[in-house]
Structure 1
Amino acid sequence: MILVTGATGNVGRQVVDQLLEAGERVRATSRDPARAGLPAEVDVRRADLRDPDTLPAVLDGVDRAYLFPVPGQVGGFLAAARKAGLRRIVLLSSQAVTFDPRDVIGRAHAEYERAVEESGLAWTFVRPGAFMANDLAWAPAIRADGVVRAPYGRAATAPIHERDIAAVAVRALLDDGHAGRAYELTGPESLTAVERVRLIGASIGRDLRYEEQPPDEARRQMATHTPPAIVDAVLSILASAVGAGAPVLPTVEEVTGRPAASYTRWVGDHAADFR
């Protein structure tokens, strides 16, 4: 039995689906199982990483787990996992752990990784960079008037499809040969925000426009729903990426045997969100 935490998230749901396709038995955690919307074959159990008392029941009979880390609660999950006899864990980490110097995002994920390493469990770290799914934040503006306002339009990233992140995680869950490995993941191409908006428009058949947003205005907007330290880290990363191509890594193909999906493919998968 494989446990998937964060099973309703962008990556977690893909992990669930791909494990089912591989014929695995899957258990998923949710704070509200009735609203999880997961396939009927999934054993959905109520659990909250913030409440350690809910963990023993969901870990019972589980030998492998995909962990979406919750700040401040990784240690409690690992303690319960050791007690339950879990033998392998795949942690969703972040490429930010490789930054020098590490920002607040990188430091947080480095702490999660260190806790997993010290747990004594067999582990694999999956370290994606920018998610293509982050651009779903543009969908309301695209649907409304076709104008995307965001800062640092010329900053380049190599964003990755959530399906590819999940595919690497699933390989690590199913194959012992990935134990002790840390996989840094990117998509197959370096793209600026301006270029990504153009690709969305071409895919959905609309003329879209990118409008450069002052960083201070973006900071104020983002801070309404994101901790200020995270906002500053994200804006700093984007500022440093202006005018430079983003590194493109072959890790997805090396691990899964197939190339990472293009941004155009991702837009096609999410076209309904932008129309």
Structure 2
Amino acid sequence: MTILVTGASGNTGRQVVDRLVAAGRPVRAMTRRPSAAPPRTGVETVEGDFTRPETWPAVLAGVERVYLFPFVEVDSEPGAGFVDLAVRAGVRRFVVHSAAAADFDSDDAPDDPDISALRRHLAEERLAHRAVERLVEASGAQWTHVRPGLLAVGALDWAGRIRDERVVRAPYAAAAFPWVHEADIADVAVAALLDDAHVGAAYTLTGPAKVSRAEQVAAIGAAIGTPVGFEELTPEQARTQWLDDGYDRQTAEWLIELLAAAVDGPDLLPPTDTYQRITGRPPRTFAQWALDHATDFRPLARTGEAG
């Protein structure tokens, strides 16, 4: 039974591949640049792209189960999309990498001019991910939706400044979320791919507890063995920095609103016990994530540098 992993070169996709190989399952890893992927025993790496239908037949041949990254096209001609072709090719189960926003209860519409940037973003997220989920639900195949909350890997946005300056400059040091480790997402996705008990379930997945941005930075410093400072910016300073860094204005606005809400507003996403219920183990902490990614935050070795 070959299992297809789409988005196989991503942070979570790589870990899904690792776990399936460890379980002794034949894996086909779909990536847009197979030449960049090192050969691995038990993994067939193939070129595939959701925007290039000509790549799909080779990707899907002989596949029975699919870990589906959410960039699949949902507005294609009826019967001509990736999910449709997958089912015709013999796929019998999808595990959809979705998002916690898909489970949010809201009637907001993204084109409503009277809602905030954050509400607009959450509406876009909810509708986009539910569209993929509904597409799979209507396919006739078995399905499970894995809906992670805010990803711990977002802290990699700080990696360059931490490597170079040992400091993070950002707003809302006290803003806290239950950041989820990509390894936890992969564990749940693989359980759903292999175990019939998860068919028809939708799992919202978070880390074990809320961790503030200042606490994230302290954990990264502990992981690399060097203190890292947190210089708190005002929202206005942060907006300017993000625009200079290449963020579009709408993204900058909803990020500021999201962080502000984590300090003073409603609890958008409390920690869940999903991972514990499924695996019997506590979810990984942000401190563990920082240890797992310590090399991303350490200074890059200079050419000719000893060691």
Match of 2:257 in 1: 236
Amino acid at match of 1:68: F
Amino acid at match of 2:22: E
Contact preservation (8 Å) 1:74, 1:112: no
Whether 1:95 aligns to 2:95 is: no
1:81-230 equivalent positions in 2, closer than 5 A: 81-101=86-106, 102-219=122-239, 222=242, 229-230=250-251
Structure-2 separation of matches of 1:217 and 1:51: 41
Structure-1 separation of matches of 2:247 and 2:145: 25
Structure-1 separation of matches of 2:236 and 2:65: 44
CA 1:225–1:96: 2 relative to 1, 3 Å:
farther
Contact preservation (8 Å) 1:5, 1:66: yes
Match of 2:9 in 1: 8
* Shift of residue 274, structure 1, vs aligned partner: 1.2
Aligned residues: 275
Contact preservation (8 Å) 2:223, 2:294: yes
Contact preservation (8 Å) 2:50, 2:73: no
* Shift of residue 177, structure 1, vs aligned partner: 1.2
Whether 1:264 aligns to 2:287 is: yes
CA 1:25–1:222: 2 relative to 1, 3 Å:
farther
Structure-2 separation of matches of 1:227 and 1:118: 35
Amino acid at match of 1:260: P
Structure-1 separation of matches of 2:255 and 2:84: 32
Contact preservation (8 Å) 1:8, 1:38: no
CA 1:105–1:151: 2 relative to 1, 3 Å:
farther
* Shift of residue 100, structure 1, vs aligned partner: 3.8
Which secondary structure does the structure 1 equivalent of 2:187 belong to? Answer: helix
* Shift of residue 202, structure 1, vs aligned partner: 2.1
Structure 2: stretches of 5+ with no match in the other structure:
107-121, 299-307
* Shift of residue 73, structure 1, vs aligned partner: 5.3
Larger gyration radius, structure 1 or structure 2: 2
Structure-1 separation of matches of 2:130 and 2:98: 8
TM-score scaled by structure 2?
Answer: 0.83
Which secondary structure does the structure 2 equivalent of 1:103 belong to? Answer: helix
Structure-2 separation of matches of 1:20 and 1:222: 39
Contact preservation (8 Å) 2:172, 2:233: yes
Match of 1:17 in 2: 18
Which secondary structure does the structure 1 equivalent of 2:193 belong to? Answer: helix
Deviates more, 1:69-78 or 1:57-66: 69-78
TM-score scaled by structure 1?
Answer: 0.92
CA 1:267–1:143: 2 relative to 1, 3 Å:
same
1:30-69 equivalent positions in 2, closer than 5 A: 30-37=31-38, 39-69=40-70
RMSD, aligned CA: 2.1
Which secondary structure does the structure 1 equivalent of 2:263 belong to? Answer: coil
* Shift of residue 237, structure 1, vs aligned partner: 2.4
Structure-1 separation of matches of 2:75 and 2:60: 14
What percentage of residue pairs aligned between the two structures are identical?
Answer: 47
Structure 1: stretches of 5+ with no match in the other structure:
none
Which secondary structure does the structure 2 equivalent of 1:138 belong to? Answer: helix
Contact preservation (8 Å) 1:105, 1:230: no
Structure-2 separation of matches of 1:234 and 1:123: 32
Structure-2 separation of matches of 1:42 and 1:263: 30
